Amino acid sequence: MIEDNLWVLETIQPEPLMVGTVGNLQPDKPEFGEYLERFHKNPLYRGIRFRANARTHLTEALTTGPFIDNLKLLAQADLVLDTANPSMDLLNGVVRINDAVPDLRIMVDHLPVMDPTAQELPGYRAVLAEMHPRPNIFVKLSEILHRVDGEVALDVAAHRERLDYLLSLFGEDRIVFGSDYPNSVGTATIEQVVALTRQYFASQPRAVAEKYYWKNSARFYKWIKRMANQPVLG
């Protein structure tokens, strides 16, 4: 809902702990530019999120109306595109968007949750290889803890191979932390999510962990410090 954008901005405005929000606007709608201009006057508005689901496919959206032209407006405003619900359709669509709007910063959310089938695996590896040299495509190493056959593996060893693979592809400068709260409720607590990522990054240099936990998000979203104890990029 369009009204959600204003409600979130009004809610976080008096809370300096909150440094930004990613809004809900549909880039396939002709009125997108009007609403974007209205909301991005507030520096807390840092971009929009496209949610793929069973009814909304990114490859279909790319051919709908002014979708690409509106994403160009998003890039011109120096705002970002977040995505959700990773799938082969979404990953291939992200590459197509990057081809069409190379200046747009794109975040692939929750990539560790994607479990490609044996049939999908070659295509999965191929599309991630396509993303590898593209500096404006970032990934959230979030939703690492997820159910497989009804179980949640809390041991970092169960996830290390996949995290190593994604880190090798996207590098230390294009990975970002995410808790996936409140969607994680019932699967893992925030404490468990943080504990697992801390275990994994304990084997990495401190500088890499700092990039993952906050520096890369500051580079990607360009959020603005609002409290004295919040860090800033040097």
Residue 49, in any domain of the structure? yes
Q: How many domains does the chain fold into?
A: 1
- Residue 207 is part of a domain; what is its CATH number? 3.20.20.140
Residues 6+ positions from 22 with CB-CB distance below 8 Å: 46, 47, 48, 49, 80, 82, 221
Domain span at residue 131? 2-221
In a domain, 227, yes or no: no
pLDDT at 213: 97
CA distances from 44 to 36, 40, 71 (A): 13, 8, 19
Q: Kindly state the tokens that stand for 149.
A: 């056959």
What confidence score (pLDDT) does residue 52 get? 66
Residue 99 domain-assigned (yes or no): yes
Cα torsion through 33, 34, 35, 36, rounded to 10: 40
Distance of CA 124 to the CA centre of its chain: 18
Q: Looking at the domain assignment, is residue 226 inside a domain?
A: no
Q: Flag whether 32 is in a domain.
A: yes
> Which pTM does this prediction carry?
0.94
Q: What is the pLDDT of residue 55?
A: 57
Domain contains 232 = no
Segment-wise mean pLDDT, segments of 10 residues, the chain, 234 residues = 93 97 93 96 96 67 86 98 92 95 97 93 97 98 86 89 96 95 84 95 96 98 96 90
Q: Which pLDDT score is estimated for 172?
A: 98
Is 186 a domain residue? yes
User: What is residue 53's predicted lDDT score, i.e. its pLDDT?
Assistant: 62
Judge whether 191 lies within some domain.
yes
Per-residue confidence (pLDDT) for residue 104, from 0 to 100: 98
